[in-house]
Structures are given as structure tokens and as C-alpha cells.
Amino acid sequence: MIGYGVWSFIHTKPAEKITGMEKKLSAKASKGVVSLFLSALSLLVLLDLVGDATEVLTILFVARFDALTVFIAAVIALVAATAVETMIGNRLSRVLSSARIRIFSLLIFLIIGTSAIISVVLHS
């Protein structure tokens, strides 16, 4: 988490530093709804494969209950969580500048990563 937060902060340019060529590429990319959809879909699938508590819970539920029901519930839960995250991101982008959002996301990743390390150290 810490590494990803720092890497993302370093390699993401603030909106003020975007060049003319990047603006053209961004405009072209924003026109391609299919491209945006496939990018978001592939990134979410890739990140989900890393594994987390929801994956473990899904496996446990499938072991005890009907697989189709668990699958449908997991899909609905993922859609609901994504809807909430999208609303929050949309609201934040209206209130905060892109530079502040970058700093905010860096701080969130640092806090989560540090708390995970502390948790592992304390429980060892």
C-alpha cells in the first residue's frame, strides 16, 4: 500500500502540468467509452485478484451456501460499493483540486499501509 501510494503520487501529474499532447490524448480517450469501460474493468479485475477479506468471505459463503446465490450477492455488493466510491470521487473532484486529491490519496495509502505493518508487528 505504501509503495503504491508513493509511486502513484510521483508518477501522476497534477492537472496544471498536463501538456498539450496529453490534453489531446485525454480528449481522445474520453471519447472512447468502450476503451474507458475495458480499462476500468480490467484494472478492477486485476486488483481483485490480489485478494482481500471480501474474497475470503466469498469463498467461505460458497462453501456453506448455494454458489449462484453467493455469486449474485457478491456482484450486487461490488456494484453497490463501486457506486458509493464513484459518488464520493465525483463530489471530491468538485470540491478539491487535483493536487489536493493526489496528496489526500497518498495520505490514505500511507495510513492504511502503516496501520497494516503495525498490526502485523503487534500480533507477531
Q: How many CA atoms lie within 13 A of 119 on its CB side?
A: 6
pLDDT tens for each residue of 50-87: 666 777 788 888 999 999 999 999 899 888 988 998 89
CB 95 within 8 A of CB 104: no
Q: Where are the domains of the chain?
A: 2-122
| Contacts of 14 by beta carbon, 8 Å cutoff, 6+ apart | 98, 99, 102
pLDDT for position 40: 73
5-44 confidence digits (pLDDT tens)? 676 677 665 555 555 555 565 666 556 777 777 777 777 7
Q: What is the DSSP track for 9-58?
A: HHHSPPGGG--HHHHHHHHHHHH-HHHHHHHHHHHHHHHHHH--HHHHHH
What is the pTM assigned to this prediction? 0.50
Supply the pLDDT for residue 41: 74
